[in-house]
Structure 1
Amino acid sequence: MLSILIPVYNYNVVSLAERLHNMALEAEIIFEIICIDDASELFLQKNQQINQLQNASFTTLPKNIGRSAIRNSLAKKAIYENLLFLDADTFPVHQDFLSNYIAQIDNCEKIVYGGILYESIKPSKEELLRWVYGTKREALSVFERNKNAYLSFLTLNFLITKSVFSKVAFNENIANLRHEDTLFSFELKQNSIEVLHIENPVYHLGLESSETFLRKSEEAVLGLKNLVNAQLISTDYVKLSSYFQMVKKYRLRPLIAFGFKITKPLFVKQLLGTKPSLLLFDLYRLGYYCNLKTN
């Protein structure tokens, strides 16, 4: 028995729901598919088609509640013990995707993460930064993910039981500035809940423009700073905050902040170009971190 839970925001999720529905019927499992839209403006009429599928539903919230709260709402609405969370802009790579997760249900005290892939064909220049980051930093093999089992876990494709989820539900009190998956994985680690990595990936299809990704990355830096300042995660859990603490220790923050202000246009030009460098992307985020107000 499996509850497939999909948070939706401004995305056409019909193809994903239909694919999962067919897989579940072929695997002959008891299932439900629940899609909750977080007060979108787009694709609302199109996504209503999901309600025509057996054991599937699509509903819309009257107001936006954010990435953490909507996942908690999905878990509360689910009727089965086994919860499979998938982001709306993903799509299973293999036909036995659901069967692979069903085979892991006995690992009830663990979270099972299947991984992520990006399509091999390079996108346009306008979407290149997100694609390069995803292919190099997120689309990792099981071997690579196991080197840092908690931080390499992403919340877009994972299996968890209701009983485990009740111990580590998403924190709804943090600002909607990304890094909710970082906090979630940190709390898994603090609660000694193992992350089991398997080879059962989804494609990440929702590539955003490089400009949008850079802006969201700035939001994520602020979100990380807030988590560290609130002592919700340790300063050494994420490399970026760890490096920032080192910068502060050696009193280099004013120098790096000043240098970043001067060189930021050059950083942006390179990162939005045809060969974005992840080293420069990391330096950009560190410089941005150093420019944030201290409080």
Structure 2
Amino acid sequence: MILHANARWPDVKPCLSVLVPFLGDDPSPLLQALEAEKGDHTNRVEIIILDDGTNDPSLTRKLQDLVDTSHHAICLLSSPNNLGRSKGRNLLAAQARGSNLLFIDADMLPDHPDFLRFWLAHIDTQSPAASFGGFSVIQASSAPEYAVHRSMALRSDCLPASIRSQHPEKHVFTSNLLIRRDVFLKNSFDEDFQGWGWEDVEWAMRVTNAHTITHIDNTATHLGLDTVPALMSKYRQSAANFARIAHLHPEYVARYPSYRIAKILRVLNLATLVRMTAKPVAAASFLPASIRGIALRFYRAALYAKALGT
């Protein structure tokens, strides 16, 4: 593991550690947005970036230059091998020095210029065990190939804190998640989850039994919207993880529409038919994004139905 830190790094005693893993994505826009936030409060912040196996020398040099010139205390970790979503985030937490950990994905961008100041104020006034700031697609691409993902995100993910708080464990993503250090030391991410999806929600299900997970409106935009084929690929990766979380936390998962539909499809032996029917509908660019999004949800439920039966 290679560490590249700047001159500010040794002098800062952080309250907040901003932890940014990436694989393939360029975190430069996020770092530049955080760089634009000036003030004495930034003396309480450190930023740690983890290159989780990208192995792109030109990107590494670019990030090292950003690290060297930043007014934040910042360092870059580089792993030659892909550790995975859970293990990579656990490594970042182990390297962090702050009493609070803010996990934010490399393809996120704060929606207002006082993003870090807002988080620090929330820490000072509430000292939350865990808190999710929410995310949006405000600054994301409006290109037609991302219309379905945008439509789905607006419907189910880009929700105000008042709505998210009704099911606090369900609406937790590592895209903009604050965790108090002492809570994380007892509740790290489960490294048995492989590939994409559900490890953050599973973490929240464990933590909510002992701690309150709060939701606030301090959003960041998810810039990395996916095409329909990319979403299908992620759903295929997530099926085994969904089956694992259903086994570990049946009392929570039983409330989810995706689980209820998957169970019906499995009982009626319709999973293969639904998957084969939903796939071309979701891929049909001439259909409205809302219809294609519904088809994608059924495609995902059909994958989950099969995974639940294994």
| TMscore range, shorter length | 0.7 to 0.9
Superposition pairs of residues 110-121 of structure 1, within 5 angstroms? 110-119=129-138
Q: Alpha carbons of 1:202 and 1:239: their partners in 2 closer, same or farther (altered >3 Å)?
A: same
Q: Pick which of 12-21 and 256-265 moved more.
A: 256-265
The correspondence for 2:283, drawn from 248, 269, 273, is 269
Identity of aligned residues (%): 24
Measured in 1, the distance between the counterparts of 2:308 and 2:192 equals 21
- Which residue in the other structure is 2:54 paired with? 40
- Which residue in the other structure is 2:66 paired with? 50
> Is 1:225–2:248 an aligned residue pair?
no
> Is 1:8–2:22 an aligned residue pair?
yes
Q: Alpha carbons of 1:44 and 1:274: their partners in 2 closer, same or farther (altered >3 Å)?
A: farther
The correspondence for 1:137, drawn from 148, 156, 165, is 156
Tell me, yes or no, if the aligned pair for 1:132 and 1:276 is still in contact at 8 Å. yes
The gaps in structure 1 that reach 5 residues or longer are: none
Give the AA of the match of 2:46: E
Give the AA of the match of 1:33: I
Give the AA of the match of 1:146: S
Q: Alpha carbons of 1:86 and 1:64: their partners in 2 closer, same or farther (altered >3 Å)?
A: same
SS at match of 1:104: helix
> Is 1:29–2:38 an aligned residue pair?
no
- Which residue in the other structure is 1:282 paired with? 297
Tell me, yes or no, if the aligned pair for 1:7 and 1:87 is still in contact at 8 Å. yes
Q: Alpha carbons of 1:28 and 1:220: their partners in 2 closer, same or farther (altered >3 Å)?
A: closer
Tell me, yes or no, if the aligned pair for 2:18 and 2:45 is still in contact at 8 Å. yes
- Which residue in the other structure is 1:95 paired with? 113
Measured in 2, the distance between the counterparts of 1:180 and 1:146 equals 19
- Which residue in the other structure is 1:179 paired with? 198
Give the deviation of 1:103 after TM superposition.
Answer: 1.1
Measured in 2, the distance between the counterparts of 1:175 and 1:188 equals 20
Deviation string, structure 1 residues 187-218 (Cα, Å, up to 9, x no partner): 1223x321111111001111222211121122
Give the deviation of 1:22 after TM superposition.
Answer: 3.7
Measured in 2, the distance between the counterparts of 1:126 and 1:168 equals 38
Give the AA of the match of 2:130: I
Measured in 2, the distance between the counterparts of 1:227 and 1:28 equals 38
Tell me, yes or no, if the aligned pair for 1:5 and 1:83 is still in contact at 8 Å. yes
Measured in 2, the distance between the counterparts of 1:217 and 1:66 equals 17
- The number of residues matched between the two structures is 289
Q: Alpha carbons of 1:292 and 1:148: their partners in 2 closer, same or farther (altered >3 Å)?
A: closer
Give the AA of the match of 2:137: Y
SS at match of 2:260: helix
SS at match of 1:128: helix
Measured in 2, the distance between the counterparts of 1:261 and 1:176 equals 21
Q: Alpha carbons of 1:205 and 1:272: their partners in 2 closer, same or farther (altered >3 Å)?
A: farther
Tell me, yes or no, if the aligned pair for 2:20 and 2:104 is still in contact at 8 Å. yes
Q: Alpha carbons of 1:236 and 1:45: their partners in 2 closer, same or farther (altered >3 Å)?
A: same
TM-score normalised to the size of structure 1?
0.88
Give the AA of the match of 2:150: W
Q: Alpha carbons of 1:148 and 1:120: their partners in 2 closer, same or farther (altered >3 Å)?
A: same
Superposition pairs of residues 193-208 of structure 1, within 5 angstroms? 193-208=211-226
The gaps in structure 2 that reach 5 residues or longer are: 1-14
Tell me, yes or no, if the aligned pair for 2:265 and 2:302 is still in contact at 8 Å. no
- Which residue in the other structure is 2:32 paired with? 18
Measured in 2, the distance between the counterparts of 1:245 and 1:265 equals 19
Give the AA of the match of 2:296: F
TM-score normalised to the size of structure 2?
0.84
Give the deviation of 1:19 after TM superposition.
Answer: 2.4
